[in-house]
Amino acid sequence: MKKIICGAAIVFAFSTVASPTLLTLAHYENNIELSSEFNLGKNFKLLYDKENKSAYQITDEIGNTYEYVEEVISKPDGTDEITQKKFMVLAGNQKELLDEKVISIMETATDIIIKELSNAYSTDVVINKTDTQINFESTLEHQYSNINPELNTLAASEPTSGGSYIAAIRWEESKNNNTAYAIFGTKSKTTTKQQWQYRDFKAAANSIVTEEKSIATAGLGGVVDAVWAAVKGGDLLSWELIKKVFGKLGKAVPAVGTIITVYTYISLCLDAKEKYDAIP
């Protein structure tokens, strides 16, 4: 992952124009612009990061730029609420509000409890704080023993396989025929090796493994596990959420580069999830 730190000061102040969802951009002050290139052709740019506020942009592989503005409010009962606004950056230095989410994070002595308050159908994600350390060396064996029983028959055919055992985003292919399996957690889809959505998923699953080396080296397995558990059921990835998970796991406030490492890894997992869902 390429990191470029520039001495530019860029942040946004927002002023409303004709449409209530259409805003113009102005400059923030006294902050550092930091860019990071994802290995899927996406570009992440951190615009602003304070204790409970942040703003960043992501440019996707086809050139669309989205801006995320986040703010954390701490409630008297100890609950943190993250408001995340997603904008599309338009021509003429304007942006359009696309979505707004409110994410609640609370904790007990043993658990972190995360819920999307802006979604009436959201369910609580409960993360045990003592159960978030991944043993990277034993994960491959553990995950293989827990794959969908339907796939156990593939072992006799000496399949080829790949993807991430740690995130449980994998693929398997038979050497004896054209059968392929896309695997996401405990779910799987049966398809063919040539099916184009499957090939997209396969590439995305493989790309996750590249980032797992840096995750393991940096000792970030527990944080990644907790964040992935929180967001994999929906689209709740948040810069402030990552910061809060660090704190609630009893870890020091992370450096920007550390947050970017976690953000990038989870983004790759969500990209693979999107491609899994696209397989017929």
Q: What is the pLDDT along the chain (280 residues), one digit of tens a residue?
A: 433 333 332 222 323 233 333 443 334 434 445 555 555 556 888 888 888 899 999 988 888 999 999 999 999 988 999 999 999 999 887 999 999 999 999 998 888 999 999 888 888 888 888 765 544 444 434 444 444 445 544 444 455 888 888 888 999 998 889 999 999 988 999 999 999 999 999 999 998 887 787 777 777 877 888 888 888 877 788 999 999 988 888 888 788 888 888 888 898 999 999 999 999 9
In a domain, 174, yes or no: no
In a domain, 189, yes or no: no
pLDDT of residue 16: 29
pLDDT of residue 150: 52
In a domain, 253, yes or no: yes
In a domain, 179, yes or no: no
What's the structural domain count of the chain? 1
In angstroms, the CA 71 to CA 84 distance is: 7
In a domain, 159, yes or no: no
149 and 168 Cβ atoms separated by less than 8 Å? no
- How many beta carbons lie within 10 A of that of residue 247, not counting itself? 14
pLDDT of residue 187: 92
In angstroms, the CA 235 to CA 266 distance is: 11
In a domain, 70, yes or no: yes
In angstroms, the CA 253 to CA 50 distance is: 12
pLDDT of residue 55: 93
pLDDT of residue 92: 83
In a domain, 11, yes or no: yes
The residue among 47, 51, 53, 42 whose CA lies nearest residue 26 is 47
The CA-to-CA distance between both ends of the chain, in Å, stands at 32
In angstroms, the CA 168 to CA 164 distance is: 6
Provide the total of helices (H) and of strands (E) in the chain, helices listed first: 5, 15
256 and 243 Cβ atoms separated by less than 8 Å? no
Helix (H, G, I), strand (E, B) or coil at 60: coil
In angstroms, the CA 213 to CA 23 distance is: 40
In a domain, 43, yes or no: yes
Question: Residue 89 is part of which domain span?
Answer: 2-133+212-278
In angstroms, the CA 184 to CA 125 distance is: 18
pTM: 0.75
In angstroms, the CA 7 to CA 15 distance is: 26
